Amino acid sequence: MSSKRNLIHKLISFKVPQLSSILAGTLLLSTFTQPLFASEEVNLYSARKEALIKPILETFTKETGIEVNLITGKADALLQRIKSEGKNTHADVFITTDAGRLYRAKTAGVLQIIQSDVLNSAIPENLRDPEGYWYGLSMRARPIFYVKGVIDPKELSTYEALADAKFKGRICIRSSNNIYNQSLVASMLAADGAEKTQQWTNDFVNNFARKPKGGDRDQIKGAASGQCDIAIANTYYYGQMISGKKIDQKKAAEAVTIFWPNQKTRGTHVNVSGAGVTKYTTNRKNAQKLIEFLATKKAQQWYASANFEYPVRKDVAATDLLKTWGDFKADTINLNQLGVNNAEAVKIMDRAGWK
């Protein structure tokens, strides 16, 4: 059965985009006489890469006897796939990155409410949907990174202060199309209101050292190479760069350090990767079991370590590497608000000329 499952994965994975889901379904039905998904299995569509989630899924299988059929892909493409498949989707659980995307899944009508005392007890209220459509499973922060010896940390204070003219031509950040930046601006809308956020965004864009390009790692590399003095990036990218085998990325990460903004006000902006049970699943019981397992202490410890992220559980400590970055006060806004404010955040970024 495992060899067949591997073939199934190859056939319907996003690694073969030319193969439509209809054709894939036809091939599968004609190839296998036994049912595709057994009752003691659960089907997971995950925007997290296979290497970053498969080991903990194997532990889940060993402990529960429930096999996990994993399909990975790009976050937005997976959501579109679930929407397109509709009632015919095989997905029982959807895992994706950023509360903004989780909100999109909720409003697209592809998730259902689950009531779980296990999840409500383990996961802080601000890191889960108020109605129970999705739950955060790992947390990352989006702080300020600055070049050692070039920026005096005393110059830094808040995200809002990065709009000051003294930072003109000194900031690297990725494009406005990126959901992480959209959620950052959405959090500022919640804290500061539309008028102040628009003015901040206008001035912040004027301080860019270059036209936004690349991913978070590229912003850190840009700072390390002298293209800018300050970069905005998610902490897990920094962890990957420091701990990875790519010498250029490691050196770039070592050239910068973290400043935790807004420590005297609302706290540093944080976000999550999270999961929800799909609306049309016929396997809700196992789907909920999987999400509850991913919220256990054991899973949280592994997941945080493998992904260089912070556990969402307050009773699970950060890894040794993350501890070296110091403690910080996190913004406690309910992350559902990032999705609510997304459309307005994008408009503000467009008006400011944030490309």
Which residues are CB-contacts of 101 (< 8 A; sequence separation ≥ 6)? 47, 75, 76, 79, 179
Tokens of 169: 């031509």
216-224 and 247-254 helices, crossing angle to 10°: 70
Tokens 């003095």, residue?
229
Closest CA to 333 of 275, 259, 272, 270: 270
pLDDT confidence of residue 33: 31
Cα 150 to Cα 132: distance, rounded to the nearest angstrom: 46
Cα 119 to Cα 236: distance, rounded to the nearest angstrom: 24
Tell me how crowded residue 9 is: count the other CB atoms within 10 A of its CB.
Answer: 15
pLDDT confidence of residue 350: 98
225 half-sphere exposure, CB direction, 13 A CA radius: 12
Helical residues (DSSP H) of 193-323, grouped into ranges: 194-206, 216-224, 235-243, 247-254, 284-294, 297-307, 320-323
Q: What is the CATH number of domain 141-268+328-351?
A: 3.40.190.10
pLDDT confidence of residue 174: 98
Closest CA to 9 of 36, 47, 30, 38: 36
pLDDT confidence of residue 39: 53
Tens digit of pLDDT per residue, the chain (355 long)? 443 344 344 334 444 343 344 334 433 333 333 334 445 999 999 998 888 899 999 999 999 999 999 999 999 999 999 999 999 999 999 999 999 999 999 999 999 999 999 999 999 999 999 999 999 999 999 999 999 999 999 999 999 999 999 999 999 999 999 999 999 999 999 999 999 999 999 999 999 999 999 999 999 999 999 999 999 999 999 999 999 999 999 999 999 999 999 999 999 999 999 999 999 999 999 999 999 999 999 999 988 888 899 999 999 999 999 999 999 999 999 999 999 999 999 999 999 999 9
Are the CB atoms for 329 and 267 separated by under 8 Å?
Answer: yes
Tokens of 331: 């913004």
CA dihedral (70, 72, 78, 81) in degrees, to 10, reads -60
pLDDT confidence of residue 9: 45
Which residues are CB-contacts of 22 (< 8 A; sequence separation ≥ 6)? none
pLDDT confidence of residue 21: 41
- How would you classify residue 240: left for phi > 0, otherwise alpha for psi between -120 and 50, otherwise beta? alpha
Cα 43 to Cα 287: distance, rounded to the nearest angstrom: 8
Alpha-carbon separation of residue 348 from 20, 190, 355 (angstroms): 37, 13, 12
Q: Which CATH homologous superfamily contains domain 2-140+271-316?
A: Periplasmic binding protein-like II (3.40.190.10)
Tokens of 57: 């899924």
284-294 and 54-64 helices, crossing angle to 10°: 120
Rg from Cα positions in the chain = 21
Domain ranges of the chain: 2-140+271-316, 141-268+328-351
Asked if 2-140+271-316 and 141-268+328-351 have one fold, the answer is: yes
Alpha-carbon torsion 116, 119, 124, 126, what sign? negative
